[in-house]
Chains A and B, each alone.
Chain A
């Protein structure tokens, strides 16, 4: 292989020429390789005879090696024939090329001879065009003068025509005025304006004056037209446009017109005010009020109509004045609502409120048609929202006022009278105020909701919310008010004597029950609300009820507190004044017992009027888990008195007592019995505590014993005596004996006798 390479490189210079020739040819004729004669399969390498990488030596070698002599000979003949063919082909190609070249040369020669003649023709053409140019110039100059003359003449004629027009102008204008063709008049005048401006001071002075005069009348007429309501809007609008064209100060006109509108608006309001007044007056005596619309709407509607028309006209006349009009219309709406607000302040039934709203809404709709850009509907919706909200709020305020009025009225009036039923009346009145008041309120609001007025329909959701929220706030406020009423009364009744202060307490008791009732209302309302409006989100009835329950409880406690406080002062006086260590023998039951009983009776009469009778009377007995009975403790007491080693016994007895510890302070219920016994128990406990703070001699102790014995008897007459009360009475005596140097009790006969005497006397007194 290496050898073969070498031989090939050596052969390159020899082969170069032939190879280039062949390449050229092949590139020129683009021989189709596929059509090349296919060599016999034996000579596979011979295929490459036309390829660039053809190696003749190698070809020869292969040929020689592979072929036999005969084959070689045949191959030789074939080759010789091929070579001959190729030669002839080459020759033919050369000839053809040469022929083409010759014909091309001929064509070039022919073209050259033709172009030489053209130059002369061109020059001739140029000469001719030049001569045409000079001739046309000649014609032009010869005609110039004449043409100028004609133009001058024409201009003069135009001028003359204008002058004529100006001279004719006054006459023409007056003619126009006569025929009311103001538009033409204005057009003419504006046409003449430039001339008047230029020469008005000199040549056309008269003319100018006359025409100006005419125009002034035109302007006057136009203004009159503009302001006259009888003219059609179209005509008035035209008049306005013309006036504007005449450079007339339209703005002042506009302002004037606006003023007129405002004035009419003022009239409208005055009218409506009158209407409202009428409405109110007509409403007050008949309470319920007739349907609002019937009385006022005729006059009112007419005027509103007028206003709407005026606005429409104005808009057409002055198309760019919307903002002012909007302001005006909004003002009207605002004033309307303000009026309602004023009414709302005073107190107004929902029918009236509704009527007023309806009027406004119709007005608004009317104006909205005319002036839709003002979006009066939205605007009034906003204003209405505020108003309705205010209305709701004020209604609640009034209700609150009513209720506290009902309470206060009773508090003030029956000071002196026999007040058996005063309290009951107070309760009834306030109950009614609350129940009826809130029912009416609800009905009113329902009316508001059921109305199909556009404004209200849109506000419905809001109203429901407001009412619910209003109710919540109302109940809270009511709660506060009650607490305030009770709290305010508190210090004064402390300071005043025993006879005063009672009314305040009565109110308290009333309040307790009213509150209980209220909580029921709140509950039922929340149920209604949920059913009626199908959105129960806002109304937290449970919370409200809770508030009222706790308030009721608080007030009940407050009442009990105030009552016991008064007894406490009584007791305090009783125990601080005398010197108990130097007490004299008891002769009769001390006065404080009477006072105490008196207080108790007062409590009882109050409680009886207000509170329900407890059904659980028997139950109470078993409830208080003290199984102590008076006989036992009496026996115990006697024991204690006689024993020598008192202290030790005391201890044991105490221990015994406390094994069956009596629940003294049970939960207060709002029944007659519960409140009464609670007060008695608290007072007796106070009595015990006061006794414990003192030291007694034998007589002092006996006095206490006597007082307690009497109290025990008389309490049984007044109230249901619980075991706890008995126990406390015993405790008072025990406390006194403990605080006594020499606790020797009164002999039972003497004790009985003294008690009987007192009982007889008190019976006498009561007779």
Chain B
């Protein structure tokens, strides 16, 4: 509970699972989120943190016919984002463009740029390359990995290549390496698999059960953070897939999502179904390890607790989590009951 009240809240109308930082918006700190309601009309909210940083303002409210299971903002165009949606029986994925607003808030229609409708099974996510402008998109469903070529001006997306995972492994999600435009990690029930997009071949794998989420470290190459149902958070050097570099205890119940800070080294956020968001400091680079080892050698009893803070002011499981790339000390979290909370981690950074 401590520090929980510093957050700025914003309520969505329905339950929701996903929130994304609008990276391309360089003038404001804004997030985009969508609701998950099976029986109602769903909404996409574009939220902006007021210049004073004390208030969350709704910049845009758009209706979205189906419930949204995944949402990602385009890293180079603030008006474009992708969603994965479902009508309860079947799944779909699409790229949307927010119409020009001109200050009016009367629920204008979203413009669908492209539908990624090659999928059959349950779509888990759509990935943009996180580090900049790239005309490719990745979408992952239960069994397949698609690489799309997106042409915004022509409003078309074409499958460039496709690779099926073996039937035994249902893919549950993925992450695109920010350091390597051709490397993608996908999670499935029993492992994390790494793909080379040029050949669409598997290059490597981390054998580990029940990985729920994976996230590349934006600052350090080769570092991947994974969240697992029961056994917490692991930090991997993907060149050494046997043993994790570091282990964090995670959450009391499942750890649902982890995300590395885009700016501060080793700063990791995790959210879980125990209705908390945890802030960790766990540097994984070699130097840091050496120093930490030295520290341990010097004072074995005073090993610093990697958990910097636990935000507990949530009423339900937290599934959505996003760092702001514009103000990297700010993050937004979204609990299942539709509450967006934006917090600053500044008080913990100074302590570092």
List residues of chain A with CB under 8 Å of any chain B CB: 494, 543, 561, 564-565, 568, 576, 581, 646-647, 651, 654, 658, 661, 664-665, 682, 685-686, 689, 692, 695, 738-741
Using known A-B contacts A661-B315, A685-B273, A738-B15, determine if residue A561 contacts B38 with beta carbons closer than 8 Å. Answer: no
Minimum CB–CB distance for B38 against chain A, Å: 6
Subset of 8 A-B contacts with CB under 8 Å: A568-B229, A581-B88, A646-B39, A658-B316, A665-B253, A689-B273, A692-B317, A695-B38
Q: How far is the CA of A266 from the CA of B229 in the complex (A)?
A: 69
A692 touches B336 (CB 8 A): yes
Confirm or deny: B230 has a beta carbon within 8 angstroms of a beta carbon on chain A.
yes
Q: How far is the CA of A378 from the CA of B209 in the complex (A)?
A: 61
Minimum CB–CB distance for B261 against chain A, Å: 26
Q: CB within 8 A of B209: which of A494, A543, A661, A692?
A: A494
B301 touches A543 (CB 8 A): yes
Q: CB within 8 A of B88: which of A685, A686, A695?
A: A695
Q: How far is the CA of A686 from the CA of B273 in the complex (A)?
A: 9
Chain A residue contacts of B13, Cβ below 8 A: 647, 651
Q: How far is the CA of A661 from the CA of B315 in the complex (A)?
A: 7
Q: How far is the CA of A755 from the CA of B38 in the complex (A)?
A: 29
B315 touches A654 (CB 8 A): yes
Q: Can you list the 3 inter-chain pairs with the closest CB atoms, starting with the nearest? A: A658-B315, A665-B252, A695-B88
Q: How far is the CA of A494 from the CA of B210 in the complex (A)?
A: 11
B315 touches A685 (CB 8 A): no
Q: How far is the CA of A664 from the CA of B276 in the complex (A)?
A: 12
B229 touches A741 (CB 8 A): no
Q: How far is the CA of A543 from the CA of B303 in the complex (A)?
A: 14
B37 touches A740 (CB 8 A): no
B230 touches A561 (CB 8 A): yes
Chain A residue contacts of B315, Cβ below 8 A: 654, 658, 661
**Interface code B87-123, partner A: CB below 8 Å = 1, 0 otherwise?**
0110000000000000000000000000000000000
Chain A residue contacts of B252, Cβ below 8 A: 665, 682
Using known A-B contacts A654-B315, A695-B89, determine if residue A647 contacts B37 with beta carbons closer than 8 Å. Answer: yes
Q: How far is the CA of A685 from the CA of B251 in the complex (A)?
A: 13
Confirm or deny: B31 has a beta carbon within 8 angstroms of a beta carbon on chain A.
no
Q: How far is the CA of A306 from the CA of B233 in the complex (A)?
A: 72
Q: CB within 8 A of A654: which of B39, B40, B337?
A: B337
List residues of chain B with CB under 8 Å of any chain A CB: 13-15, 37-40, 86, 88-89, 170, 209-210, 229-231, 252-254, 273-274, 301, 315-317, 336-337
Q: How far is the CA of A665 from the CA of B276 in the complex (A)?
A: 11
Q: How far is the CA of A741 from the CA of B274 in the complex (A)?
A: 27
Q: How far is the CA of A686 from the CA of B229 in the complex (A)?
A: 9
Q: CB within 8 A of A581: which of B39, B89, B273?
A: B89
Minimum CB–CB distance for A727 against chain B, Å: 13
Q: CB within 8 A of B39: which of A685, A686, A741?
A: A741
B38 touches A740 (CB 8 A): yes
From B86, B253, B316, residue with most partner A Cβ within 10 Å: B253
Using A581-B89, A665-B252, A695-B86 as known contacts, list a sample of 18 further A-B pairs with CB atoms less than 8 Å apart, ordered by residue number in A: A494-B209, A564-B230, A576-B170, A581-B88, A647-B14, A647-B37, A647-B39, A651-B13, A654-B315, A658-B337, A664-B274, A682-B252, A685-B274, A686-B229, A692-B317, A695-B88, A695-B89, A741-B38
B230 touches A568 (CB 8 A): yes
Q: How far is the CA of A561 from the CA of B253 in the complex (A)?
A: 9
Q: CB within 8 A of B274: which of A658, A665, A740?
A: A665
B253 touches A685 (CB 8 A): yes
A647 touches B40 (CB 8 A): yes
Q: How far is the CA of A430 from the CA of B273 in the complex (A)?
A: 38
Chain B residue contacts of A651, Cβ below 8 A: 13
B253 touches A682 (CB 8 A): yes
Minimum CB–CB distance for B227 against chain A, Å: 13
Minimum CB–CB distance for A566 against chain B, Å: 10
Nearest B-chain residue to A654, judged by Cβ: B337
Minimum CB–CB distance for A325 against chain B, Å: 47
Chain B residue contacts of A692, Cβ below 8 A: 317, 336
Minimum CB–CB distance for A640 against chain B, Å: 13
B37 touches A565 (CB 8 A): no
Nearest B-chain residue to A739, judged by Cβ: B38
Chain A residue contacts of B336, Cβ below 8 A: 692
Chain A residue contacts of B209, Cβ below 8 A: 494
Chain B residue contacts of A689, Cβ below 8 A: 253-254, 273, 317
Q: How far is the CA of A664 from the CA of B314 in the complex (A)?
A: 13
Nearest A-chain residue to B37, judged by Cβ: A647
Chain A residue contacts of B231, Cβ below 8 A: 561
Minimum CB–CB distance for B190 against chain A, Å: 10
Chain B residue contacts of A564, Cβ below 8 A: 230
Nearest A-chain residue to B249, judged by Cβ: A557
Q: How far is the CA of A654 from the CA of B316 in the complex (A)?
A: 10
Minimum CB–CB distance for B125 against chain A, Å: 14
Q: How far is the CA of A646 from the CA of B253 in the complex (A)?
A: 29
Q: How far is the CA of A665 from the CA of B273 in the complex (A)?
A: 11
Q: How far is the CA of A738 from the CA of B36 in the complex (A)?
A: 10
Q: How far is the CA of A158 from the CA of B316 in the complex (A)?
A: 133
A686 touches B86 (CB 8 A): no
Chain A residue contacts of B86, Cβ below 8 A: 695
Q: How far is the CA of A692 from the CA of B39 in the complex (A)?
A: 14
Chain B residue contacts of A740, Cβ below 8 A: 38
Chain A residue contacts of B15, Cβ below 8 A: 738
Nearest A-chain residue to B319, judged by Cβ: A692
Minimum CB–CB distance for B54 against chain A, Å: 24
Nearest A-chain residue to B86, judged by Cβ: A695
A741 touches B88 (CB 8 A): yes
Chain A residue contacts of B253, Cβ below 8 A: 665, 682, 685-686, 689
Minimum CB–CB distance for A199 against chain B, Å: 86
Minimum CB–CB distance for A622 against chain B, Å: 20
Q: How far is the CA of A651 from the CA of B37 in the complex (A)?
A: 12
Q: How far is the CA of A494 from the CA of B38 in the complex (A)?
A: 35
Q: How far is the CA of A564 from the CA of B230 in the complex (A)?
A: 8
Chain B residue contacts of A664, Cβ below 8 A: 274
B40 touches A686 (CB 8 A): no
Q: How far is the CA of A287 from the CA of B203 in the complex (A)?
A: 62
Chain B residue contacts of A686, Cβ below 8 A: 229, 253-254
B40 touches A738 (CB 8 A): no
Q: How far is the CA of A564 from the CA of B251 in the complex (A)?
A: 14
Q: How far is the CA of A226 from the CA of B56 in the complex (A)?
A: 111
Chain A residue contacts of B337, Cβ below 8 A: 654, 658
Nearest B-chain residue to A742, judged by Cβ: B39
Minimum CB–CB distance for B340 against chain A, Å: 15
Minimum CB–CB distance for A505 against chain B, Å: 14
Q: How far is the CA of A564 from the CA of B14 in the complex (A)?
A: 30
Q: How far is the CA of A647 from the CA of B273 in the complex (A)?
A: 22
Minimum CB–CB distance for A632 against chain B, Å: 18
Nearest A-chain residue to B315, judged by Cβ: A658
Chain A residue contacts of B170, Cβ below 8 A: 576
Q: How far is the CA of A685 from the CA of B276 in the complex (A)?
A: 14
Using known A-B contacts A665-B274, A689-B273, determine if residue A565 contacts B230 with beta carbons closer than 8 Å. Answer: yes
Minimum CB–CB distance for A479 against chain B, Å: 13
Minimum CB–CB distance for B299 against chain A, Å: 12
Q: How far is the CA of A664 from the CA of B252 in the complex (A)?
A: 10
Chain A residue contacts of B229, Cβ below 8 A: 565, 568, 686
Chain A residue contacts of B301, Cβ below 8 A: 543
Q: How far is the CA of A320 from the CA of B322 in the complex (A)?
A: 88
Q: How far is the CA of A186 from the CA of B37 in the complex (A)?
A: 125
Q: How far is the CA of A543 from the CA of B301 in the complex (A)?
A: 8
Nearest B-chain residue to A743, judged by Cβ: B39
Chain B residue contacts of A565, Cβ below 8 A: 229-230
Chain A residue contacts of B317, Cβ below 8 A: 689, 692
Q: How far is the CA of A682 from the CA of B38 in the complex (A)?
A: 26
Chain A residue contacts of B14, Cβ below 8 A: 647
Chain B residue contacts of A576, Cβ below 8 A: 170
Minimum CB–CB distance for B317 against chain A, Å: 7
Q: How far is the CA of A123 from the CA of B88 in the complex (A)?
A: 167
Q: How far is the CA of A741 from the CA of B39 in the complex (A)?
A: 7
Minimum CB–CB distance for B230 against chain A, Å: 5
Chain A residue contacts of B37, Cβ below 8 A: 647
Q: How far is the CA of A658 from the CA of B313 in the complex (A)?
A: 11
